[in-house]
Structure 1
Amino acid sequence: MRHSIVLIALHRLALLSLLLVVSTASLAETKDYTITAPDGVTIAVQESGDPDGQPVILIHGLLGSHLSWEAQVRSPELQGYRLITYDLRGHGLSGKPGEAEAYTDGRRWADELAAVISASNAHNPVLVGWSLGAAVITNYLAAYGDDRIAGALYVGGVIELQPDQIVAHPEVYQGLGSPDLRTHLDAERAFLALCFQTQPDAATFQRLLANAALASPTMQDAVPSMTISIAEGLGAARKPMLLLYGAQDALVQPEPSVARAEVLNSHIRSRMYSESGHAPFLEEVDRFNRDLSVFVDEVTQP
């Protein structure tokens, strides 16, 4: 009898180990490909999760890449969705045009997102934009409307590049545009540190810092002049929109940003994470992933 119990226990342990291996493998599986934006820029796209699930397109912010969303892409709670990330122009593995117009023209960022939606054949996706990524969604809405999306979630979103909404850090932003490499890299490190009220672990911070160093200097210098068609985009949207901000955000002013958005669109909902800075999806991961899942289910259920 005792021998049988031991055999059953060993069998269960082996089964559990197999399930863990399969689960880890499924989380690691990623589909990588490139597309071409209408202006010829090559865009790196990544997919994970359930290929037959509800599409969720995650758009990173300034100096980021698809790696910004690792806590979502690797979350077991979100594996039922089709998770699509991509590197914005001038970032990560995507093309880095040398002319400023490729970054100051907000329509080009909108066309890029439209190309990702089309090439990935993402039907009725939920758009999630962090910081600069929110401005990309706004420009997409202005150019294409919201007929082809289910809803949009802004995280620490840039509503407008206006002094009352963006916290002034003149030395940091001047340093990002500096031709001196030391000054430039130090400014990137300072900018990244400002993204968090609670700093990530050392390995994550170092990875994100290396990620930032891949970003185009031309883009960093030009993006503060990016056009954002807010009235025609965010203001005209009728699909569900949720704005999430960290109350301790050191880069974007949460209250003026939400107030400006609500003036333009009374349908907008907002939520504040009291313990987070500019990156709630990394600082309060479990809460954010739950809120994301709830929002996606709310806006996609018939």
Structure 2
Amino acid sequence: MSTPSSPARRPLRVTTPDGVGIAAELFGAQEGPSLLFIHGFSQAGLCWSRQTASPTLSSFRMATYDFRGHGASDRPATPEFYREPARWADEVAAVIAACDLVRPVLVGWSYAGRIICDYVAAHGTAGIGGIVFVDAATANERRFYGRCNRLMRQMCSTDVAENVAATRTFLRHCFAAPIPQPLFDQLFGVNMMVPPPVRANLFDRACDYDELLRTLDRPVLVAHGARDEVVSPAMAEHIARIVPGARLDLYDGVGHAPFIEAAERFNSTLAAFTREVAGKA
């Protein structure tokens, strides 16, 4: 008997407690262990396409979304919508509820490390099964970052030529080796959908979650590219050292996006981790 194919992507619109419209999509199984993928700075849920289309992960209930100011979600104009941690926390909670995710594993790339920590600080860990930090940022110390900070500031410029040039260069630095041109074009196009003021507002809040990380009581996997030029592998080592029981998985020869550059390995590891987490529920 053949296995029935997974349902196609199911788009939905989520409204956060502060009134922001969020574009989300569901993939994979109607039931089963849940995964919520959260993208990074100036990206969108589309960046997880090598996960949502993967046969390795098709038995899981998967959700992606474009966080505020990004992709097809609303772009509030005033800074407080981006600078207040509670708004980010409640956004995640609203997506989990609207997508009917049961104790999902939160998979957060880069800037999403902050967002996951905001969620846990406000809502605790009772509603999630585990966390996967992917080249994630959770602290401000300069030693934890690569050589792209200046480029990211230039990506906030209202000078179009400067902004476009910085965005292209930053995106190239996200990968240890060139990626296929159609994929690069897609990621670049998504980047350019984010207005410069939104990008700027993402920087203007603290990033110091060490005390929170030391109290985590859910399984944590820290995945990181060993050649990341955006967030240093030292950040991953730091997170893995202070989170109780955390596992560190370094990807040799890979840059800032192991879920793209080493998708098969990443998906297999994520599937095993998620099944393990579900088995402990």
Shorter-chain TM-score: which interval?
Answer: over 0.9
Q: 2:88 aligns with which of 71, 91, 109?
A: 109
More deviation, 165-174/54-63: 165-174
Q: Which amino acid aligns with 1:278?
A: H
Distance 1:229 1:43 in 2: 26
Contact kept, 8 Å, 1:142 with 1:234, in 2: the verdict is no
Q: How does 1:152-191 map to 2 (within 5 A)?
A: 152-191=131-170
Paired with 1:43 and 1:30, the residues of 2 have a C-alpha distance of: 16
Per-residue CA deviations over 1:23-49 (Å, capped at 9, x if unaligned) read 5xx47x111011111111111110010
Residue number in structure 1 paired with 2:183: 204
Match of 2:47 among 48, 60, 68: 68
Unmatched 5+ stretches in structure 1: 1-14
Larger radius of gyration: 1
The yes-or-no answer on 1:277 pairing with 2:249 is no
Select which of 261, 265, 271 maps to 2:239.
261
Is contact 1:43–1:89 with CA below 8 Å preserved after alignment?
A: yes
1:247 to 201, 215, 226: 226
Per the normalisation by structure 2, the TM-score is 0.94
Structure 1 residue ranges (4+ consecutive) displaced by more than 6 angstroms after TM superposition: none
Does residue 82 in structure 1 map to residue 43 in structure 2? no
Report Cα offsets for 1:159-195 as digits up to 9, x if no partner: 2133121224354123112111111111111111111
Q: Could you tell me which runs of 5 or more consecutive residues in structure 2 were left unpaired when the two chains were aligned.
A: none
For the 8 Å contact 2:144–2:231, the answer to whether it is kept is: yes
Residue 268 (structure 2) aligns with: 290
CA distance in 2, matches of 1:243, 1:170: 22
2:122 aligned counterpart, secondary structure: helix
Contact 1:140 1:233 in 2 (8 A): no
Give 3-state SS (helix, strand or coil) of 2:144's partner. coil
Q: Is the 8 A contact 2:216 2:244 kept in 1?
A: no
CA contact (8 A) 2:35 2:105 kept: yes
Residue 259 of structure 1: CA displacement?
3.9
Distance 1:286 1:262, change over 3 A: closer
Q: How many Å separate the matches in 2 of 1:105 and 1:199?
A: 36
Cα distance between partner residues in 2 of 1:205 and 1:95: 24
Distance in 2 (alpha carbons) for counterparts of 1:258 and 1:172? 22
In structure 2, the CA distance between the partners of 1:216 and 1:162, relative to structure 1 (3 Å rule), is farther
Q: 3-state DSSP class of the match of 1:301?
A: helix
CA contact (8 A) 1:141 1:234 kept: no
Aligned residues: 280
Aligned pair 1:58/2:37, yes or no?
yes
Alpha-carbon distance in structure 1 between the residues aligned to 2:255 and 2:149: 19
